[in-house]
Chains A and B, each alone.
Chain A
Amino acid sequence: MDFELMISSFPKLLNAAMITLKLLSISLIIGLFIGLLFAILRLNKNVFVNKFAYGYSYLFRGTPLLVQIFIIYFGLGQIEYLRSTFLWVVLKEPYWCAIIAFALNTGAYTSEILRSAFQTIKPGIIEAGKSLGVSSKIIFYKIQIPIAIRQSLPAYGNEIILMMKGTSLASTVTLMDLTGVAKYIISTTFRPVEVFIVAGGIYLFMTFVIHNLIKFLEKKYSFNS
C-alpha cells in the first residue's frame, strides 16, 4: 500500500468530484423536465403522441449510455448543416455533449418513474377533487403532482445514484471528472488499488449522502406526517 500516493491524490480527486457533481446536477435538472414532459405525453390518449413518448423511452433505455454519448459527441458533428447553426457552439464542447446525453438518458428513465407514479394514483382521489368542484388544472398541480412526487421518490433516488455512476462515462469524451482523473493517476503511477480506494471512497460518500437525502425527503413527504 502506497499511502503517500493516496494522500497526495486525494485533493486532485476531490476537485474532480466537483466536476462529477456539476455534470450530475445539471443533467438531473434538465432530465427532470424532460421526464415530466414525456410522462405527461405517455398518459396522453392520442395514440401517436403516446407511441412517440414510448419510443423515446424505449430507445434510450435499450441502448448503452456510452453509445448515446458517442453518437452525440462524434456523430452529430459529422452533419454539415449542424456545423453552420448556433447548435454547433454547444455540440463542439465535450462538456455539453456529455450533459445532453446524460439529460436525455435520465429523462427517459425519469419519464417511466413518473408515469408509473401518476398511474398508481387512486382514481378516487381525483374524483374526490372533482366532486369538490376543483378545476382539473388545480387537481393536477395540487393533488396529482404532490402524490406522484411522493410515490416516485424511492425510485428516483435510485435513478440519481445510477446517473451519478453514469457521469463516469464523461471521461470517455476527454472530460476530467472523478473517474477520468482516477484513470489518469492509475495510468501514470500503476497503482490501481490505492487510487480505486480513494476514488471509490469519494463515490461511496456521494452515494451515501444522496441516499440519506432521499430518505429524509421520503419522511418529510410521507402521508402520515
Chain B
Amino acid sequence: MELLAFGDTGWGDELFYATLMTIAVAITAMIIGFFFAIIFTPLKLSKNKFLNLIANSYTTVIRGVPELLVIYLFFFGGSAAIMFVASIFGYGEYIEINAFMTGAFSIGIISGAYSTEVFRGAIQSIDKGQFEAANVLGLSKFGKFFKIILPQTLRLALPNLSNVWQITLKDTSLISVTGLVEIMRQSYVAAGSTRDPLFFYSFAAVLYLLLTFLSMKLINRLEAKYSRGY
C-alpha cells in the first residue's frame, strides 16, 4: 500500500494524474472521432460513387489495420508531415508535435472510423416515413435534420457509441509507446523503478476497470434520457 502513497514516497499522485491524462486523451480522441464521423457519414450515405469510395476506404483501412501501426504512422510521420508543410511556407526548423496531440489524433482517427459506421447504421435504420412526414410538414432541410433525424439517430446510436467509447478508452493504453504519461506509461515507469511490475500492472488493470465501469453507469443514464417516450 505504501507504494501508492501520495507525495514523494509513493506513486499515488503520479498514477492519479496519469489517470486524468488517460481520461483527457480518451475524451479528446472521441471528440476528434466525432468530427471525422460528421465528415464521413454523409459521404457514406451519399449517392455519389466517388464520395462513397473515399468514405469506405477510410473506414475499411482504419478498421482493418492494427491500432499500433496507425499510431506508429503518426508518431514517426506526424512531425515530418508538419515540417514538410512548414517548409513550403519557408520554415526550415525542426518541429516537434507534442505526444498528447499525436496520441489523441491517432486514436481519434481510429475512433472516428467506428463512429462513422455507427452513425451510418443509425441513420439508415430510421424509418423512411419519418423523412416523408418531415417533408409533408414542410420543414426546411435544416429543421428536418435537427428536429427529426438527429434526435432519433442519437437514441439509436447511443448503445453502439458506448461500445466505441469503451474501445477508445482501452486504445489509449497503446499511446504509451509514444511516451505520453498516461496510466500504462506511468505503471511502466513505476514498475521499472520499484521492480514490482505485478503490483503496478494489476493496479493499472483496476484503474481501467474502474473507468469502464463508471463510464458504463454514466452512459446508461444518457440512454435512459434519450429513450424517453419509448
Residues of A within 8 A of B (CB): 58-59, 62-68, 70-71, 74-76, 78-79, 161, 164-169, 171-172, 179, 182-183, 186-187, 190, 192-193, 196, 199-200, 203-204, 207-208
Contact = CB atoms under 8 A, between A and B. Distances in A.
A75 B18 CA distance: 20
A225 B80 CA distance: 55
Task: Please classify how large the interface on chain B is, using the bins under 10, 10 to 19, 20 to 34, 35 or more.
Answer: 35 or more
B82 to A, nearest CB: 13
Contacts of B77: 192-193, 196
Interface stretch (B1-9, B46-54, B125-133, B193-201): B193-201
A63 B72 contact: no
A67 B173 contact: yes
A67 B188 CA distance: 10
A168 B212 contact: no
B209 A78 contact: no
Q: Tell me the dominant secondary structure on chain A's binding face.
A: helix
B64 interface: yes
Contacts of A193: 73, 77
B66 A179 contact: yes
7 closest cross-chain pairs (CB), A and B: A168-B66, A75-B198, A192-B77, A64-B173, A74-B197, A207-B64, A192-B76
A78 B66 contact: no
Contact of B60 (A64, A66, A168, A204): A204
B136 to A, nearest CB: 37
Given A78-B197, A165-B66, A165-B67, A67 B208 contact: yes
A183 B72 contact: yes
A67 B66 contact: no
Given A74-B201, A172-B177, A190-B80, A200 B69 contact: yes
Nearest to B74: A192
Contacts of B97: none
B76 A75 contact: no
A76 B198 CA distance: 6
Contacts of A58: 209
B68 A168 contact: yes
Given A64-B170, A64-B184, A71 B68 contact: no
Contacts of B65: 165, 200, 203-204
Greatest chain B CB density within 10 A among A70, A200, A208 is at A70
Given A204-B60, A204-B64, A62 B213 contact: yes
